Chain A
Amino acid sequence: MSEPTQPLPKHERMQIPRQGMPTQDAQARARNFNEVALGYPEETAMLEAGRCLQCKRPKCIEGCPVNVNIPAFIGYLREGDLPGAVHSLKGDNNLPAICGRVCPQETQCEVLCVVGKKHEPVAIGRLERYVADWDLAHPSPPPAVTPSAQQGRVAVIGSGPAGLTCAGDLARFGHQVTIFESLHAPGGVLIYGIPEFRLPKQIVHAEVNYVRSLGVEVRLDTVIGKTYTLNELLNEQGYDAVFLGTGAGLPMFMHIPGENYNGVYSANEFLTRVNLMKAYLFPDWDTPVKIGRRVAVVGAGNVAMDASRCSLRLGAEEVHIVYRRSRDEVPARAEEVHHAEEEGIIFDFLTNPIEIYGDDKGWVRGMRCIRMELGEPDASGRRRPVPISGSEFDMEVDIVVMALGTQPNPLVFSDSGGLERTRHGTVVADETTGKTTKDWVWAGGDIVTGAATVISAMGAGKRAAADIDRFLRGETAPVVAEGQAATAAG
């Protein structure tokens, strides 16, 4: 148990600098899959917790998509009451060890932190991770769940962040919940997408086990749309409600010549081989991945950072991020870009591939690229990249990874009549309740928003769980109110 920090006067609190996160040395970590960020030691955590002002009207909570009562758990922490901090944190968030690692706190809770107005904000994410990791190291029995008087049976499709959160909350409300997962391991993008060095799979397993300990059943290897359909779950298998949280799992390609050469991967395939199938442990694990000498990763989101950093760890000599816009438009978290640069990833901004060329055996030899410049703002509000004519050049690479974003997988929609979708393939759902246009069906996460963050998916799962509970308790109808769908679509 930690010693409580002495209460400090406000001006002294403000003098404590934001505590840095210890990390593995960049040179060393670029060649291993161990976690990069090592977590706060106890004294550092207590020092950082001491920086929180315990605001009467905290702003940070508003920035959190699941509204974690941040001052409350930090309050317990600095009193040295770790069990109290865990209880408080897990009351709001079923997956804190994950959020403490992968949330973009800098644009959510921390950007609103009152301390941050004059100084560096409190490192909320790092404290969340500290408390959650303490909990994993000191396991306590799961909270007792009392069956709801109006207990319902709910099918949750997909075991990613949205599904796990929705299932966990519904179980805590006293309902019977079954999660259906198409892969052989639960966790969705947390398992197949985010690499070990950013989110150790042991952490994901532990958080999934916590959700199971609440009474949630997880059925693996079950593809909804194939093994069973949405309508079968409702009409034949007796589920009272369905939550769709299958994410955005379909890879996008550029549709340029040569994209089917051997050595061109979608980021999904590359990361699934490395993370879910543990190709970095081949041949002890069976699944191989092609290790490039010179690798180009096209795109600059978090997935691109993950793919490029995996390539380096697998043994590539040189890894490039190829991005058609400039540094200012990079969608990845600042910390991920920083870590990638530290490790030696080369960024080629304002560069766009126009063709992939190969050898006569069908293998990639290189990419023909064109230089870009920024023009007028486009629909996204960012300046549109425009090719500079005559600036084509060749880039010799033997592996290309396309990290261009993803869209929802339509497999789940077979036999799902009445479920309205947008022209982007996402499901139309009410923003505050997750209710879709199909009776008894809710949805949340990337399947509604398109590729976004873990925490926003969790927020959607949480809101849908609350609304499904209201319906199961007989407070609301399981149908979408007229006009709602239009609002959600707009």
Chain B
Amino acid sequence: MYEIVLREDLAPVTKLLEVRAPGVASKGRAGQFVIVRIHPEGERVPLTIADYDRERGTITLVFQEVGKTTMHMGTMQPGDCFASVTGPLGRPTEIESYGTVLCVGGGVGIAPIYPIARDLRAAGNTVISIIGARNKELLFWEDKMRTVSDELIVCTDDGSYARKALVTIPMKELLESGRSIDQIWAIGPAIMMKFCALTTRPFGVPTIVSLNSIMVDGTGMCGACRVEVGGQTRFVCVDGPEFDGHQVDWDQLLARQRIYPEQEKLAIEKWKSEHQLCG
């Protein structure tokens, strides 16, 4: 029912799937996510909506192959179907006219930052974007980001492409340069978002992050995704996924992302042995 209509390999371990899900496509907005289940015995995995096509009734999902489910997804082809796609879930990004905004995407976080930058620009903001990845191979959507940004800074951790820097370096430079930046979005791995928030805190610029917690239902029912924000327990699925990065208890979030490492390892080993993959 939820048919894959397009597949693109953005990087060796980063894949894009465009999936037919008319209900989600008709409503989805930047910042929201879906819960997918790829087969009847599958787990429920949250993935941010990287784009949507209301006419075609499709949504675009970008993911990195890090666990059993995403590895399996990485083998799926157009014509294959997901067992379920539920959403759009979570609160959409608050798109307003802020003035000048900074959109930072790290690694696979470039995908969700794209529709946010696009919509912020359409709302009249001056959009400065920074995208970064560990190396050249892992970088994607530079062209797409350029079309929705007034300025785009590209960097890689190892310097294999563009500027050699972590995304926090050009962030800090921009803030120190005295340019007025009214609001910042930073999306990527939790550890990157933590350091982005630490970078901007001294400058007092509101910094929105999109948290990627473990979830089950995605509708507020289980509480697996809970994390303290500003000293209060919040559910990422219904209260977020976007929060004020200066208020997030990052260490708690990072700990809560590591509840099932042994099980993840076991599931990956089983998957690989069943699919004769090496490494």
Chain A interface (Cβ < 8 Å from any Cβ of B) = 182-184, 192, 220-223, 226-228, 249-251, 253, 255, 259-260, 262-263, 265-266, 268-269, 272-273, 277-278, 281-288, 290, 361-363, 409-411
Contact = CB atoms under 8 A, between A and B. Distances in A.
B68 interface: yes
B86 A287 contact: no
Contact of A409 (B43, B84, B219, B258): B219
The secondary-structure label for the interface of chain B is mixed
A311 B206 CA distance: 44
A290 B24 contact: no
Contacts of A281: 41
14 contacts: A182-B86, A184-B44, A221-B84, A226-B89, A249-B221, A251-B221, A255-B233, A272-B217, A282-B263, A283-B266, A283-B267, A286-B69, A287-B44, A288-B263
A36 to B, nearest CB: 25
B86 A184 contact: yes
B174 interface: no
A192 B221 CA distance: 11
Nearest to B85: A221
B38 to A, nearest CB: 9
B27 interface: yes
A286 B89 CA distance: 22
Contacts of A260: 226-228, 233, 252, 256
A223 B226 contact: no
Contact of A286 (B84, B221, B258, B267): B267
B256 A266 contact: no
Contacts of A277: 43-44, 216
A423 to B, nearest CB: 19
Given A260-B256, A262-B256, A286 B42 contact: yes
A186 to B, nearest CB: 12
B175 to A, nearest CB: 31
Nearest to B37: A184
Interface in B136-172: none
B88 interface: yes
A288 B68 CA distance: 12
Contacts of A223: 86-87, 89, 219
A96 B43 CA distance: 31
Interface in B229-244: 233, 238
A260 B235 CA distance: 11
B22 to A, nearest CB: 10
A322 B149 CA distance: 56
Contacts of A221: 84-86
B277 interface: no
Contact of B41 (A182, A226, A278, A410): A278
Contacts of B221: 192, 249-251, 268, 272, 409
B220 interface: yes
A269 B256 contact: no
The secondary-structure label for the interface of chain A is loop
Contacts of B238: 411
A228 B24 CA distance: 9
Given A260-B233, A362-B256, A227 B43 contact: no
Contact of A283 (B251, B252, B270): B270
Interface string B76-115: 0000000111111100000000000000000000000000
A375 to B, nearest CB: 30
Contact of B258 (A183, A227, A262): A262
A184 B223 contact: no
Nearest to A259: B233
Nearest to B86: A221
Interface string B204-225: 0000000000001101111110
Contacts of B258: 262, 362
Given A227-B23, A272-B216, A272-B221, A361 B233 contact: no
A227 B255 contact: no
B41 A284 contact: yes
Contacts of A251: 221-223
Nearest to B270: A283
Contacts of A286: 41-43, 68-69, 267
A263 B87 CA distance: 28
B41 A285 contact: yes
B185 to A, nearest CB: 22
B133 to A, nearest CB: 28
A226 B88 CA distance: 6
A182 B84 contact: no
Given A227-B23, A269-B224, A362-B256, 8 more contacts: A226-B87, A227-B27, A250-B220, A265-B223, A269-B223, A287-B44, A409-B220, A411-B220
Nearest to A232: B27
B278 interface: no
A262 B41 contact: no
Contacts of A222: 23, 86
Contact of A182 (B43, B217, B227, B256): B217
B223 A228 contact: no
Contacts of A226: 27, 87-89, 219
Contacts of B68: 286
Contacts of B259: 262-263, 290
Give the 5 A-B residue pairs with the shortest CB-CB distance, closest first: A362-B255, A269-B222, A288-B263, A286-B43, A184-B84
Nearest to A184: B84
A269 B259 CA distance: 14
Contacts of B222: 251, 266, 268-269, 272
A77 to B, nearest CB: 37
